Chain A
Amino acid sequence: MPRPALRTAHATTLLSFALPVGVGVMFLLGWHAAVRISGSDLFPTPVEVGRGLLELARQGLLLKYVVASLFRVSWGFALAVAVGVPAGLLLGWYSRGFQAFNPMIQIFRPISPIAWIPVAILWFGVTDAAPIFLIFLASVFPITVSSIAAVQNMQPVYLRAAQNFGLSRGELFRQVILRASLPQIITGIRIALGVAWLVVVAAEMIAVNSGLGYLIIDARNAGKRYDLVVAGMVMIGVIGLVLDLLVRQLEKFDEVRWGYARR
């Protein structure tokens, strides 16, 4: 096809923007029509949700709840990274350690963080520590497991090359094992952040009285304000998207870009 490359590239960019926006608009229109046709007086239309968001923003609750949720996720997640990455690197490297701890990890891993909520309340009460603990539990396993796999799947040629250059143990760990594992560790971190964000909402519904999860359950209980319920859901979705986009930026560094599919 003898089409000028510049125009094609331009059209592609425009299309990649127009397509998702088009789908979004269709979705909102369909939602609006469905509420009107069904005649529901509880479930809100998109416009009512927008008004609800404005109301929350004006009261200062929106920012307060978003900050509260992000605060809990940041702490639980940071703890999970601080524990999971070193633990994963060590267990990936020392096969005896892996043999010893892996069965225990595999037993704890499938237990949903939601199942831990009663235990968290028992241990930490209705404080920030309860959701932070739950977020830590939810994200530490994906991070640990992907860090273990990252070390175990490292191409042996990098290790042999490094040994050839006479690296000390510490240098080998820092300059080769960590660097070779980083792309897969970042993928694990991305998955874990998604899980952490899912869990904070669930935890806030039960264990505390602030945050987006609390907003949803409170709006329903105190007067069936479904416009605010859906407003909370929209905020959760949007912030989840932003968090994922932020972590994706990590994958663009030259130091790790080699580890992802060729683009």
Chain B
Amino acid sequence: MEKDKTLWRVAMLIPPLAVFGILVVWPLFSSFYYSITNWNGFSADYRYVGFDNFLQIFHDPLFTRAAVNTVIWMLAAVIVPTGLGLVLALLIDSQVPGASVFKSIFYLPICLSAIVVGQIWVWIYQPDWGLLNTAINLVTGGNSHFAWLAKPGTALYAVIAAWSWQQTGLAMVIFLAGLTAIPPDLIEVCHIEGASSGQRIRQVVLPLLRPATVVVVALGVINSLKGFDILYIMTGGGPFNSSDTLAMHMYNESFKKYHMGYGSAISVVLFLIALAIIFAYFRQLRKVDEIYE
């Protein structure tokens, strides 16, 4: 019986583990290896360069730029979709008529591809007839033709706004799932005790939404690390690398300039950042679990 079980374990785990091992785990470790070489992507002739690629990172102003932008993107991800998603979830949860329609509307952008979302927002920022300038001109009566995506000062934030538009719906449904997990008796008690809506939300609902908040924040930070497609189509990291992120910088170095060794070093840095976030995330989840068990 126990021997049977072991046989089945092996037989059932080999296919998924083999695929995952060959196409995910092994490449991950190869990245470490390439990061200490000067491979150019095609030639068979490359050599070991030690930590030169990692030292180069410190002298690469474009890397610094990309790292700072990635941090800005993460911070924005924690503030904008999380805040907006929470507000929307609280509003929708208040048994308002048409709640499910509202939910679908706010959630819709999630099923669009980053490419399509990017394109939609390129039009919003279009200098001559885009929605943003049209709206500004309507309100101020001016004649603005500001090119939001072509100015180094605004390009990054314009892309983050578009990205947030898509991510807010995801944050909202996670908060909604958290809200339905709150026992209705508790809310009832608030009503009976005569607590105001503000008191109820601040003292009962928000503390109970802690697990959902952990998830939303972690996902936001992780997804901001992955932000590539939308950047590729909206600015390509420009103008003058002003909206570059680490993911974009890694792509440019590796597949535009064919500095695959240096690109691998950037991907190792990306991996370490992601690993740190994932560790913190799993630990927080466990803590949250302990509180509720």
Q: Do A and B bind each other?
A: no
The chain B residues found within 8 Å of chain A, CB to CB, are none
